[in-house]
Amino acid sequence: MKISKFLLILFFIFSANIQKSFSDDDKMIKGLEIFNEIAGCAGCHILKAAGSEGNVGPNLDTVSLTEDSVKEMVTYGLGVMPAYGEENILTKEQIDIVSFYVANTAGK
Ligand code: HEC
């Protein structure tokens, strides 16, 4: 009885963790979709890995950026760049994923 309860708790902890975190591969696939389709970043930015050729904003392959700096820019925007977070265009999770994607593909 005690052992089965213990196993049950372990199972819940384990499955909660699986649901919470996407694998890096998932984030790369979902991030590409957000970049090109859901958020339309591709319409304004060049990013070779995504095959995008927009030239309203800076070429993301040639600026220096980090996952945090992308997150900041996508959340708050600047000038023509939309504030996806503040205006609830993307969820926080989508912003995390697209920032991970851009930070890991820019310049590659
Ligand atoms: C309507 C056009 C437009 C869209 C859509 C857009 N951006 Fe931008 N973005 C810009 C412009 C313009 C700037 C430059 C802002 C400035 O410096 O005044 C910029 C700046 C940035 C920067 C900072 C680059 C640097 O110089 O360090 C990042 C990173 C970025 N955008 C990522 C994204 C991502 C990711 C998305 C999609 C979620 C996106 N952008 C969607 C126009 C856009």
Q: What is the pLDDT of residues 74-95, one digit of tens each?
A: 999 999 999 999 999 999 999 9
Tell me how far apart the alpha carbons of residues 58 and 68 are, in angstroms, rounded to a whole number: 17
Instruction: Say yes or no to pLDDT of 97 above 80.
Output: yes
Least confident window among 8-17, 23-32, 60-69, 98-107: 8-17
What percent of the chain stands above pLDDT 90? 80
**Closest to 63 in 3D by CA, of 4, 10, 105:** 105
Ligand 1 binding pocket mutation candidate from 28, 38, 63, 81 (most atoms within 8 A of CB): 81
Please tell me the distance between residue 80's alpha carbon and the centre of ligand 1 in angstroms: 8
What's the whole-number mean pLDDT along residues 32-57?
98
State the distance between the two ends of the chain, measured CA to CA, in whole angstroms.
Answer: 54
